[in-house]
Amino acid sequence: MAAPLRRLADAVVALAIGAAAVYAHTLTLGADELDAPLTSRAEVGATAVTGRFSARLGKVVAARSVRLGDGPDARSLRAGEGEVFVVATVAATAPREPVWLREAWLRTRDGLDYAASDRTGVARGIGRPAQPGWWTERLFVFEVPPEALPGAELVITGPSGNGLYDEIYPGRYDQLRPEAALELTAGDAAATRLLAEVKDSWPLTG
Protein backbone atom coordinates (compact mmCIF):
# COMPACT_ATOMS: atom_id res chain seq x y z
CA MET A 1 0.00 0.00 0.00
CA ALA A 2 2.92 2.24 0.71
CA ALA A 3 4.37 1.96 -2.78
CA PRO A 4 1.22 3.13 -4.62
CA LEU A 5 0.83 5.97 -2.18
CA ARG A 6 4.41 6.93 -2.70
CA ARG A 7 4.02 6.83 -6.46
CA LEU A 8 0.92 8.97 -6.16
CA ALA A 9 2.76 11.47 -3.99
CA ASP A 10 5.63 11.57 -6.47
CA ALA A 11 3.21 12.20 -9.32
CA VAL A 12 1.50 15.01 -7.40
CA VAL A 13 4.83 16.63 -6.60
CA ALA A 14 5.96 16.36 -10.21
CA LEU A 15 2.69 17.86 -11.39
CA ALA A 16 3.00 20.70 -8.90
CA ILE A 17 6.56 21.47 -10.01
CA GLY A 18 5.48 21.47 -13.65
CA ALA A 19 2.52 23.73 -12.91
CA ALA A 20 4.76 26.09 -10.95
CA ALA A 21 7.21 26.23 -13.85
CA VAL A 22 4.43 27.05 -16.30
CA TYR A 23 3.01 29.67 -13.93
CA ALA A 24 6.43 31.24 -13.51
CA HIS A 25 6.43 32.05 -17.21
CA THR A 26 3.45 34.33 -16.68
CA LEU A 27 5.38 36.48 -14.22
CA THR A 28 6.62 38.99 -16.78
CA LEU A 29 6.86 42.76 -16.71
CA GLY A 30 4.51 44.91 -18.75
CA ALA A 31 5.63 47.33 -21.44
CA ASP A 32 5.51 50.30 -19.07
CA GLU A 33 7.47 48.44 -16.44
CA LEU A 34 10.05 47.36 -18.98
CA ASP A 35 10.47 50.92 -20.19
CA ALA A 36 10.57 52.39 -16.69
CA PRO A 37 13.84 54.18 -15.96
CA LEU A 38 16.08 53.65 -12.98
CA THR A 39 15.47 56.72 -10.84
CA SER A 40 17.93 58.19 -8.38
CA ARG A 41 16.46 60.77 -6.00
CA ALA A 42 18.12 63.63 -4.22
CA GLU A 43 16.91 66.17 -1.70
CA VAL A 44 17.37 69.88 -2.17
CA GLY A 45 21.06 70.65 -2.59
CA ALA A 46 22.09 66.99 -2.74
CA THR A 47 23.53 65.16 -5.71
CA ALA A 48 21.65 62.39 -7.49
CA VAL A 49 24.09 59.77 -8.70
CA THR A 50 23.17 57.43 -11.51
CA GLY A 51 25.34 54.97 -13.35
CA ARG A 52 26.01 57.33 -16.25
CA PHE A 53 25.79 60.82 -14.77
CA SER A 54 25.37 62.78 -11.59
CA ALA A 55 23.19 65.87 -11.23
CA ARG A 56 22.47 68.43 -8.56
CA LEU A 57 20.03 71.31 -8.50
CA GLY A 58 21.37 74.85 -8.20
CA LYS A 59 19.42 78.07 -8.17
CA VAL A 60 15.66 77.94 -8.74
CA VAL A 61 13.76 81.11 -9.66
CA ALA A 62 10.11 81.76 -10.42
CA ALA A 63 9.39 84.59 -12.85
CA ARG A 64 6.42 86.04 -14.70
CA SER A 65 8.58 86.71 -17.74
CA VAL A 66 12.02 85.85 -19.02
CA ARG A 67 14.38 87.95 -21.08
CA LEU A 68 16.09 86.31 -24.04
CA GLY A 69 19.27 87.61 -25.59
CA ASP A 70 21.41 90.60 -24.85
CA GLY A 71 21.60 94.14 -26.11
CA PRO A 72 19.25 95.53 -28.71
CA ASP A 73 18.17 92.07 -29.84
CA ALA A 74 16.91 91.14 -26.41
CA ARG A 75 13.24 90.31 -26.12
CA SER A 76 10.97 89.47 -23.26
CA LEU A 77 8.69 86.47 -23.04
CA ARG A 78 5.71 86.52 -20.70
CA ALA A 79 4.24 83.44 -19.05
CA GLY A 80 0.70 82.37 -19.88
CA GLU A 81 -2.32 83.36 -17.85
CA GLY A 82 -2.17 81.80 -14.42
CA GLU A 83 1.29 80.37 -15.02
CA VAL A 84 4.83 81.19 -14.06
CA PHE A 85 8.21 80.42 -15.46
CA VAL A 86 10.41 78.25 -13.27
CA VAL A 87 14.06 78.61 -14.18
CA ALA A 88 16.23 75.86 -12.69
CA THR A 89 20.00 75.65 -12.91
CA VAL A 90 21.28 72.09 -12.98
CA ALA A 91 24.93 71.03 -12.69
CA ALA A 92 25.92 67.64 -14.01
CA THR A 93 28.98 65.50 -14.49
CA ALA A 94 29.67 62.02 -15.81
CA PRO A 95 31.93 59.27 -14.52
CA ARG A 96 33.37 57.95 -17.79
CA GLU A 97 32.07 59.44 -21.02
CA PRO A 98 30.14 62.50 -22.21
CA VAL A 99 26.40 62.41 -21.56
CA TRP A 100 23.96 64.80 -23.21
CA LEU A 101 21.11 65.61 -20.86
CA ARG A 102 18.41 66.97 -23.13
CA GLU A 103 15.23 65.69 -21.53
CA ALA A 104 13.81 67.18 -18.37
CA TRP A 105 10.39 67.32 -16.73
CA LEU A 106 8.86 69.01 -13.78
CA ARG A 107 7.00 66.24 -11.99
CA THR A 108 4.29 67.29 -9.57
CA ARG A 109 3.43 65.65 -6.30
CA ASP A 110 0.50 63.98 -8.06
CA GLY A 111 2.73 62.48 -10.73
CA LEU A 112 1.93 64.91 -13.54
CA ASP A 113 4.84 65.68 -15.84
CA TYR A 114 5.42 69.12 -17.38
CA ALA A 115 7.91 69.15 -20.23
CA ALA A 116 10.53 71.85 -20.37
CA SER A 117 9.19 74.85 -22.24
CA ASP A 118 10.03 75.17 -25.91
CA ARG A 119 9.00 78.83 -26.02
CA THR A 120 12.48 79.93 -25.01
CA GLY A 121 14.08 78.26 -27.99
CA VAL A 122 17.40 76.54 -27.64
CA ALA A 123 18.47 77.18 -24.11
CA ARG A 124 22.03 78.03 -23.40
CA GLY A 125 24.30 75.14 -22.58
CA ILE A 126 22.19 72.55 -24.28
CA GLY A 127 25.06 71.54 -26.52
CA ARG A 128 27.44 70.99 -23.67
CA PRO A 129 27.38 67.50 -22.30
CA ALA A 130 28.22 66.38 -18.81
CA GLN A 131 31.80 65.11 -18.92
CA PRO A 132 34.24 63.48 -16.51
CA GLY A 133 36.29 65.79 -14.37
CA TRP A 134 34.09 68.87 -13.98
CA TRP A 135 30.53 70.05 -13.49
CA THR A 136 28.65 71.47 -16.44
CA GLU A 137 25.75 73.84 -15.77
CA ARG A 138 22.71 74.42 -17.87
CA LEU A 139 19.26 75.93 -17.48
CA PHE A 140 15.89 74.28 -17.71
CA VAL A 141 12.81 76.48 -18.06
CA PHE A 142 9.30 75.28 -17.24
CA GLU A 143 6.02 77.10 -17.62
CA VAL A 144 3.61 75.72 -15.00
CA PRO A 145 0.73 76.81 -12.79
CA PRO A 146 1.86 77.85 -9.31
CA GLU A 147 -0.08 75.07 -7.61
CA ALA A 148 2.16 72.50 -9.34
CA LEU A 149 5.22 73.61 -7.40
CA PRO A 150 4.66 72.27 -3.84
CA GLY A 151 6.30 68.88 -3.65
CA ALA A 152 7.47 69.01 -7.24
CA GLU A 153 10.76 67.60 -8.47
CA LEU A 154 12.91 68.14 -11.51
CA VAL A 155 13.47 64.93 -13.42
CA ILE A 156 16.38 64.53 -15.85
CA THR A 157 16.64 61.43 -17.99
CA GLY A 158 19.84 60.16 -19.52
CA PRO A 159 20.09 59.63 -23.25
CA SER A 160 19.00 56.43 -24.84
CA GLY A 161 21.64 53.90 -25.73
CA ASN A 162 19.56 52.13 -28.30
CA GLY A 163 20.96 53.87 -31.33
CA LEU A 164 19.19 52.72 -34.47
CA TYR A 165 16.33 51.15 -32.56
CA ASP A 166 15.22 54.50 -31.25
CA GLU A 167 14.58 55.59 -34.81
CA ILE A 168 12.51 52.51 -35.53
CA TYR A 169 10.66 52.32 -32.25
CA PRO A 170 10.89 55.74 -30.59
CA GLY A 171 10.62 55.45 -26.87
CA ARG A 172 10.46 51.67 -26.90
CA TYR A 173 12.99 49.08 -25.98
CA ASP A 174 14.61 51.77 -23.94
CA GLN A 175 15.11 49.89 -20.77
CA LEU A 176 17.01 50.85 -17.65
CA ARG A 177 17.63 54.44 -18.68
CA PRO A 178 19.13 56.39 -15.80
CA GLU A 179 16.99 59.15 -14.35
CA ALA A 180 17.74 61.73 -11.69
CA ALA A 181 14.85 63.18 -9.66
CA LEU A 182 15.90 66.39 -7.90
CA GLU A 183 13.64 67.82 -5.26
CA LEU A 184 12.61 71.29 -6.43
CA THR A 185 11.27 72.63 -3.17
CA ALA A 186 11.92 71.21 0.26
CA GLY A 187 8.27 71.50 1.22
CA ASP A 188 5.15 73.56 0.97
CA ALA A 189 6.82 76.40 2.86
CA ALA A 190 9.69 76.49 0.39
CA ALA A 191 7.25 76.48 -2.51
CA THR A 192 5.30 79.31 -0.93
CA ARG A 193 8.51 81.27 -0.41
CA LEU A 194 9.53 80.63 -4.02
CA LEU A 195 6.21 81.96 -5.28
CA ALA A 196 6.34 84.89 -2.86
CA GLU A 197 9.64 85.89 -4.39
CA VAL A 198 8.51 85.54 -7.98
CA LYS A 199 10.41 87.89 -10.28
CA ASP A 200 8.78 90.13 -12.82
CA SER A 201 11.57 89.38 -15.33
CA TRP A 202 14.55 87.09 -15.31
CA PRO A 203 17.39 86.98 -17.84
CA LEU A 204 18.17 83.62 -19.35
CA THR A 205 21.92 83.49 -19.28
CA GLY A 206 24.42 80.81 -18.61
Give me the least distance between CB of 163 and another protein, in Å please: 8
Give me the least distance between CB of 39 and another protein, in Å please: 24
CA proximity to 44, closest of 186, 188, 189, 202: 186
Give me the least distance between CB of 129 and another protein, in Å please: 6
Site for another protein in 114-133 (CB under 8 A): 129, 131-133
Kindly compute the dihedral angle of the four CA atoms of residues 58, 35, 31, 118, in this order, to the nearest 10 degrees. Answer: 50
Q: Are 141 and 105 in contact (CB under 8 A)?
A: no
Site for another protein in 76-115 (CB under 8 A): 96-98
Q: Does 173 bind another protein (CB under 8 A)?
A: no
Q: Are 69 and 205 in contact (CB under 8 A)?
A: no
Give me the least distance between CB of 114 and another protein, in Å please: 29
CA–CA separation, 95 vs 77, rounded Å?
37
Q: Does 172 bind another protein (CB under 8 A)?
A: no
Cβ proximity to another protein, 69 vs 132, nearer residue = 132
CA–CA separation, 195 vs 62, rounded Å?
6
Give me the least distance between CB of 131 and another protein, in Å please: 5
CA proximity to 39, closest of 140, 145, 180, 156: 180
Cβ proximity to another protein, 71 vs 111, nearer residue = 71
Cβ proximity to another protein, 50 vs 93, nearer residue = 93
Cβ proximity to another protein, 175 vs 192, nearer residue = 175
How many positions of this chain bind another protein (CB under 8 A)? Answer: 10
Q: Does 136 bind another protein (CB under 8 A)?
A: yes
CB count in 10 Å sphere of residue 171: 9
CA–CA separation, 95 vs 91, rounded Å?
14
Residues that bind another protein (CB under 8 A): 96-98, 129, 131-136
